[in-house]
Amino acid sequence: MSKPCINPVWPCAMTGAASALAGLTDVGVVIHGSSGCYFYADMAVPDSLHSTFLIQDEVIFGAEDRLLEVVDSLSCMYSKIAVINTCVPSVMGEDISGILSDFDVIAIDPAGFSGDFDSGRDYALSKLDIKTDHGREGINIDGICSLDPFHRGNLIEAKRLLDLCKIPVAATFCRDTLESVRNPSPYSVSVNPDYSHQKYHNSDDLNLSILGIDNVTDSFSKISELFPDKDAGKIFEEAEEADEVITKAGSKYLRKSDPPDVMIFGTESYVEFAAEHLKNTFDANIIFAGVRNGEPENTDFPSKKITDMQETKERILNERPDLIIGSSFEYAVSPDIPFVEMTFPIRHKVMLHNRPFAGIEGALSFTESVINSLNKKS
């Protein structure tokens, strides 16, 4: 028998689907289920959501009338409606597509029990019929996931870097219109490779990461080859200056402090970037990394997929690291340990500024946060 997950720290498939589709500005998203499912998704997803708010009568006698009422009231507000099943109506087995045959809807069934956030997001976007437009001008911005505390800052940073090269933005996944994301350019820069759109339509298009300064310079070197009339010189200069600033800041810290022991909790790509950056900048010892959304491979530090709050708590209290990178869940275990936020949810502090995690500014911001947190302990 598999071990039960005590207090899971990562959202379900329904929330992943809602996050993906609610980022499409002309799509109205309906959570077909109870108020509890809706309010959890609404807490996690910053975009507008709607719900059928099912009660016991609809569960017993059928939810057709309630669903039709909600979709009909929203159909004049959006060009398309997406209906997302939750666990109860999924078990009920009602034919959502048949019930809503008179409306232009995307009906999907990523019930919470079907998987985690990432599987729900993947499933929702696989239903969008994405087809590359090889004649479309510009470069897509990929990996914008509204669950990510840094998604707004990442989008601003990606646009800024492309603008430095005078390259227009094509589609933005997922912060765009439905028509735009259905017809992306063949070229993309990704702020978070975990959420690449290419796996939704099995494309061989070029997708380049800009998570970290090294990836920024490598990716824009390739872009310069693809677009020889575009000049990425300003990006290379800025990246070199930022790298020098980060190296100097790390050296200054190490002159007065020992390399920190660090535990990291987050999505796979962010964990990999954070670990590599901390090792290179602060000679950090990564004593454990807990990945929310996949089994880490080929790491030179202890790591595993971990979505169980009980196991997370035990590891933190047993190891007592010098620094924790993660979410409010990890912070709550031991608030006296220096902490840097990286992962949903962030509830113990207010985040209003659109800080990036990707790109050049993201690397600078992360380094700054780490130093300030460690210095507080000192």
Task: Let me know whether 193 and 267 are in one domain.
Answer: no
Q: Is residue 133 included in any domain, yes or no?
A: no
More confident residue, 287 or 294: 287
Tens digits of residue pLDDT in 164-179: 999 999 999 999 999 9
Q: Is the pLDDT of residue 97 over 50?
A: yes
More confident residue, 206 or 278: 278
Q: How confident is the model at residue 54 (pLDDT cuts 50, 70, 90)?
A: very high
For residue 84, the model assigns a pLDDT of 97
For residue 1, the model assigns a pLDDT of 46
**Alpha carbon distance 321, 262 (integer Å):** 5
Q: Is the pLDDT of residue 2 over 60?
A: no
Q: Is residue 75 included in any domain, yes or no?
A: yes
For residue 95, the model assigns a pLDDT of 87
Task: Let me know whether 82 and 159 are in one domain.
Answer: no
At which of 93, 126, 159 does a domain end?
A: 126
Contact of 158 with 139, CB cutoff 8 Å: no
Of 108, 86, 6, which is closest to residue 41 (Cα–Cα)? Answer: 86
For residue 357, the model assigns a pLDDT of 99
Task: Let me know whether 122 and 143 are in one domain.
Answer: no
Q: Is residue 110 included in any domain, yes or no?
A: yes
Tens digits of residue pLDDT in 198-228: 776 656 788 999 999 999 999 999 999 999 9
Q: Residue 256 burial by CB count (10 A; 0-12/13-18/19+): exposed, middle or buried? A: exposed
For residue 280, the model assigns a pLDDT of 98
State what percent of residues in the chain have pLDDT above 70: 96
Task: Let me know whether 170 and 81 are in one domain.
Answer: no
More confident residue, 206 or 270: 270
- Pairing state between β 339-341 and 139-142: unpaired
Q: Is the pLDDT of residue 329 over 60?
A: yes
Q: How confident is the model at residue 154 (pLDDT cuts 50, 70, 90)?
A: very high
Q: Is the pLDDT of residue 345 over 90?
A: yes
Q: Is the pLDDT of residue 195 over 90?
A: yes
Q: Is the pLDDT of residue 25 over 90?
A: yes
For residue 62, the model assigns a pLDDT of 78
Q: Is residue 97 included in any domain, yes or no?
A: yes
Question: In the predicted model, what is the mean pLDDT of the chain?
Answer: 94
Task: Let me know whether 113 and 155 are in one domain.
Answer: no
- Measured torsion, CA atoms of residues 217, 220, 226, 232, in degrees rounded to the nearest 10: -110
Q: Is residue 319 included in any domain, yes or no?
A: yes
Q: Is residue 245 included in any domain, yes or no?
A: no
At which of 126, 151, 184 does a domain end?
A: 126
Residue 44's domain comprises: 13-126
Q: Greatest CA span in the chain, whole angstroms?
A: 70
Domain at 176, CATH number: 3.40.50.1980
For residue 203, the model assigns a pLDDT of 64
Task: Let me know whether 32 and 65 are in one domain.
Answer: yes
Task: Let me know whether 263 and 360 are in one domain.
Answer: yes
Q: Is residue 132 included in any domain, yes or no?
A: no
Cis peptide before 345 (omega within 30 of 0): yes
Task: Let me know whether 221 and 187 are in one domain.
Answer: yes
CB atoms within 10 A of CB 310: 12
* Average of per-residue pLDDT across 53-70: 88
At which of 104, 126, 148 does a domain end?
A: 126
Task: Let me know whether 80 and 170 are in one domain.
Answer: no
For residue 161, the model assigns a pLDDT of 98
Contacts of 240 (CB under 8 A, 6+ apart): none
Residue 154 backbone class (left: φ over 0; alpha: ψ -120 to 50; beta: rest): alpha
Q: How confident is the model at residue 26 (pLDDT cuts 50, 70, 90)?
A: very high
- Number of domains forming the structure of the chain: 3
**Tokens for 22?**
């609610």
Task: Let me know whether 188 and 271 are in one domain.
Answer: no
Task: Let me know whether 20 and 82 are in one domain.
Answer: yes
Q: Is residue 35 included in any domain, yes or no?
A: yes
Task: Let me know whether 98 and 44 are in one domain.
Answer: yes
**Alpha carbon distance 48, 286 (integer Å):** 38
Sequence-separated contacts (24+) of 72-79 with Cβ below 8 Å: 72/103, 74/28, 74/30, 74/50, 75/103, 75/104, 77/28, 78/26, 78/27, 78/28, 79/26, 79/27, 79/104, 79/178
